[in-house]
Amino acid sequence: MKIDLRLTVHYGLTIFLSAFLLFQVQPLIGKMILPWFGGSAAVWTTCMLFFQLVLLLGYFYSHWVIRYLSPSRQSLVHGGLLLVSLLLIPIAPSLDWKPLGDENPTLRILGLLTVSIGLPYFVLSTTGPLLQAWFARERSGLVPYRLFALSNFGSMLALLAYPIAVEPVFPTLWQSYLWSGLFVCFVVACGLLAWRGRNGKPLVFESHDDGTAPRWTQKVLWAALAACPSILMVADTSFLTTNIAPIPMIWVAPLALYLLSFILSYERRGWYQRRVFLPLFVVALAVLAYLPTMGLNEIPVYASMAINLTAFFVACMVCHGELSHLQPHPSHLTGYYLMLSVGGMVGGFFVGIIAPYWFNSNYELSVGIVLTGIVAAIAVLPTMKYPSPALRKSALAFTVVLLLGISWLRFDDHLEETGGAEVTARNFYGTLQVFHNESWGSRSMRHGQITHGRQFTAPDKLDQPTTYYSTDAGSGKTMQIKAAQGPVRAGVIGLGVGTLVAYGRKGDYFRLYEIDPLVVSIAHKNFSFLSRTAAATEIVLGDARLQLEREADQHFDILAVDAFSGDSVPIHLLTLEAFAQYFRHLQPDGILAVHITNRFLDLRPVVKAAANHFGKQIRLVESEGDSEKQTYHSVWALIGSDGAFFSHPDLRTATTVDARAGFKPWKDDYSSILSVMQ
């Protein structure tokens, strides 16, 4: 009995450790490569696609090994794979994969991840189904599916632990070493199980209770039920960050709830009850469909998030609960998990590849909502017990009406969303829209709820700076003070619609860095700041940090950093290494202007720590918005060594910044969003 207990614990701990490592390496490698691709949220979406693709390959490998190899050959093949994977640790992406600026970022990221962590991640992805099959072979009297719940618990624990206990404590290099050390422990534990099973008996593939093996229709349903939550998870994360609250790391919440629904569905059958969740499911679909149509700014942020995430969790519970009820005999376990992985990959492929390159706006959430309703209906309705044929017809009619209503609601919302826009376009970096507001007399470019630039349409106001770049803002004051001293050579990180070049005069030079080619196109075609300025301008396409690293000293008088997408922060533009590049390209009396306006993060300790590190002075300029001038409230940090600049009368209202005791400066290998959360 003790031997059996130790064996069960050995299997459980190995599966738990593999799942923990799977979800620890995802944010770790994402943090490593995020700076190379502009800090875009689409980087995470592409990483998710890679992880789902490799997971599918791992599940296919597990299915093939169990199905076609003898236990001795299973032991030999998998043991060899475990040993080879050790050759690729510690994990670290090669600098040769840094983009030059004109590549397809999706293909670049997929190639980088394949070379950097492909094999170790593949080995980890095989563990769940493979070890569950081995466990079923050795302990035929026990149900291995509860190990799937344990696996998802390990995944969720890793996901929550990274931003709370790992990222704030350890530099990236140490994270890599710690992960690699745990991976060695996993290889040893899994290798021992492989060696133990070399003399085992092959798993007997039995039929269903009704005497038939799972039909292809059943397998397609497995995949469809797995695909719907996958689509909803990524699409809803994008919706949350774009339209409700662009809080950094918000992706943790949907993914954690996604995993929690797996845990509750597979840990024991009692958690998912149709009589409880199906009525809630109807409400959840309606909420998910209706929430995007509401005036979200009128609802408290956390109330909007709570409503959305609750509805999302209910949808996941129904899909994963139905999947749990459709579990086949353990002899078909690997095929079952393979189809779950196929579904997850299809969902990730749709959101990560199809949507950004085929859609002109964010339609994937709507597709996911409607598809989830259809698939759930297909899974549930045929298996329901109806007291009478009339009740059966009524249930079918209600379902059809519900799905048609949800479809029309989403279709009508997208018509309204795109109908008032002069331009709606999308690429890897997101969806951009251009609106002409006649009552305001202006044209604006928006990404979700965030305005990235605005220009008056009246001929006498075309050159008037707006939004965060008014004459009262820190950026505007800096431009005017430097302009009074002579011709200005300015660098701008983040093009927007080109508003800052409105300060340009003949003899001035503006070098503008922009990672998104769609932004460049819209700034040229739909706005006239770039064409009207008297200054010479040059646009550099690609991530500003990488471009500055490659360029010779630019000798800027001013360098303005404003490449933030709303309240989401590209951390690689705020590290000490980034500031070193900024100061390298500035004149000795040059000024670095960093836009730090943010609803959710207090970035003052970050810029203060950087200023202190390089021995620079720092002042904050906070300006209030003016609706008539179409300007917004803004906070700019001005950093430099020119004492005369900081004593200028226009900066008399500027404030100093106090250092926060114990605050650790951000570096490329260390940063913590939690340390600056409001």
**Does residue 590 contact residue 557 with C-beta atoms inside 8 Å?**
yes
Contacts of 5 (CB under 8 A, 6+ apart): none
d(C-alpha 406, C-alpha 508), whole Å: 55
**Does residue 645 contact residue 589 with C-beta atoms inside 8 Å?**
yes
Contacts of 317 (CB under 8 A, 6+ apart): 261, 264, 265, 272, 277
Residue pointed to by tokens 């929550």: 160
Contacts of 245 (CB under 8 A, 6+ apart): 301, 302, 304, 305, 567, 600
What is the full DSSP assignment across 443-461? EEEEETTEEEEEEE-SGGG
Does position 55 have pLDDT exceeding 50, yes or no? yes
Q: What is the pLDDT of residue 102?
A: 63
The one-character DSSP state at 652 is T
At 245 the three-state DSSP class reads coil
> Smallest Cα–Cα separation from 672: which of 24, 23, 27?
27
Q: Beginning with the edge strand found earlier in the chain, give each strand of the sheet holding 634-640 in spatial order.
A: 536-541, 509-514, 489-493, 556-561, 586-595, 634-640, 617-623
Does position 211 have pLDDT exceeding 50, yes or no? no
What confidence category does residue 210 fall into, taking pLDDT thresholds of 50, 70 and 90?
A: very low
Q: Beginning with the edge strand found earlier in the chain, give each strand of the sheet holding 430-437 in spatial order.
A: 421-427, 430-437, 442-447, 450-456
> Smallest Cα–Cα separation from 254: which of 231, 222, 283?
231
Instruction: Taking residues 180-189, report their average pLDDT.
Output: 96
Compare 155 and 222 and report the one with higher pLDDT: 222
d(C-alpha 336, C-alpha 386), whole Å: 29
Helix (H) or strand (E) holding 513: strand 509-514
* Amino acid sitting at position 55: L
Whether residue 649 is preceded by a cis peptide bond, meaning omega within 30 degrees of 0, is no
Q: What is the pLDDT of residue 138?
A: 74
Q: What is the pLDDT of residue 38?
A: 62
**Does residue 127 contact residue 14 with C-beta atoms inside 8 Å?**
yes
Does position 323 have pLDDT exceeding 60, yes or no? yes
Instruction: Taking residues 226-253, report their average pLDDT.
Output: 76
Residue pointed to by tokens 């959305």: 308
The one-character DSSP state at 498 is -
Does position 362 have pLDDT exceeding 90, yes or no? no
At 556 the three-state DSSP class reads strand
Q: Residues of 197-228 as b/e, b for ≥16 C-beta within 10 angstroms?
A: beeeeebeeeeeeeeeebeeebbebbbbbbbb
**Does residue 492 contact residue 500 with C-beta atoms inside 8 Å?**
yes
Q: What is the pLDDT of residue 385?
A: 84
Q: What is the pLDDT of residue 577?
A: 93
Q: What is the pLDDT of residue 220?
A: 94
CA-to-CA separations, 484 to 240, 469, 501, 555, 648, in angstroms, rounded: 44, 18, 16, 18, 11
Q: What is the pLDDT of residue 440?
A: 87
Does position 140 have pLDDT exceeding 70, yes or no? no
At 467 the three-state DSSP class reads strand
Q: At what angle do helices 71-85 and 172-196 cross, to 10 degrees?
A: 160
Compare 295 and 618 and report the one with higher pLDDT: 618
Q: What is the pLDDT of residue 105?
A: 79
Instruction: Taking residues 44-67, report their average pLDDT.
Output: 86
Q: What is the pLDDT of residue 4?
A: 67
Compare 569 and 670 and report the one with higher pLDDT: 670
Contacts of 55 (CB under 8 A, 6+ apart): 125, 341, 344, 345
Compare 445 and 23 and report the one with higher pLDDT: 445
What confidence category does residue 208 fall into, taking pLDDT thresholds of 50, 70 and 90?
A: very low
Does position 212 have pLDDT exceeding 70, yes or no? no
d(C-alpha 560, C-alpha 601), whole Å: 20
Q: Could you give all domains of the chain from N- to C-terminal order, each with its CATH number?
A: 1-204 (1.20.1250.20), 210-419 (1.20.1250), 436-676 (3.40.50.150)
**Does residue 223 contact residue 60 with C-beta atoms inside 8 Å?**
no
- Tell me the per-residue pLDDT of 532-577, one tens digit each, with 9 for 90 and over: 999 999 999 988 888 999 899 999 999 999 976 555 667 888 999 9
**Does residue 420 contact residue 444 with C-beta atoms inside 8 Å?**
no
Q: Picking from 74-83, 257-266, 526-535, which range would have the lowest pLDDT averaged per residue?
A: 257-266
Query: Averaging pLDDT over each range in 54-63, 347-356, 392-401, 553-562, which range is the top one?
Result: 553-562
- Tell me the per-residue pLDDT of 574-629, one tens digit each, with 9 for 90 and over: 999 999 999 999 999 999 999 998 877 889 999 999 999 999 999 999 998 888 88
* Mean pLDDT across the chain: 87
d(C-alpha 556, C-alpha 124), whole Å: 49
Q: What is the pLDDT of residue 85?
A: 94
